[in-house]
Amino acid sequence: RKEVEQDPGPFNVPEGATVAFNCTYSNSASQSFFWYRQDCRKEPKLLMSVYSSGNEDGRFTAQLNRASQYISLLIRDSKLSDSATYLCAMNTGFQKLVFGTGTRLLVSP
C-alpha cells in the first residue's frame, strides 16, 4: 500500500461549484500535513497547512481526520484559476515529506 494515496481525477466542475478532495495516508505517526498546488509545468507551491482543528483560508478549507487517516481539501465557489493539480503531503519522519501523486481539478466556465 502506498504511504499516501490520492484520486488522480480529473475532477471537472463548473465555476461556482464546491469540490472536495481526500488524501489517505498509512503512517499513523505522521504529524504535519499540507496541501500544495501545482500548475502545469510549474513547481508545487504550498497552499495551506492542515491542523488537527482544521484550517480555513478564504474559499479553501482543509481538515484532518486522524481516526480514518485522511486529510481533505474543500474549495468553495470554484474559479477558473483554481484549475491545477493539488498534492497532499505529510512528514513521515525527521524532516522528510512524502507527497501524493496529485488530484487534477478542471474548472470550466
Among 23, 24, 37, 44, binds another protein (CB under 8 A): 44
- When asked if residue 10 is in the footprint of another protein (CB under 8 A), the reply is no
- When asked if residue 21 is in the footprint of another protein (CB under 8 A), the reply is no
Total residues at interface with another protein (CB under 8 A): 22
- When asked if residue 102 is in the footprint of another protein (CB under 8 A), the reply is yes
3-class SS shares of the chain: helix, strand, coil, % to 5? 5, 55, 40
Among 43, 67, 68, 81, binds another protein (CB under 8 A): 43
Strand partners, 54: none
Give the chain's length.
109
- When asked if residue 101 is in the footprint of another protein (CB under 8 A), the reply is yes
How many Å is the Cα radius of gyration of the chain? 13
**Phi-psi group of 9: left, alpha or beta (phi > 0 → left; psi -120 to 50 → alpha; rest → beta):** left
Q: How far apart are CA 14 and CA 79, in angstroms?
A: 8
Among 22, 55, 72, 91, binds another protein (CB under 8 A): 91
Binding site for another protein (CB under 8 A): 8, 32, 34, 36, 42-46, 49, 87, 89, 91, 94-102
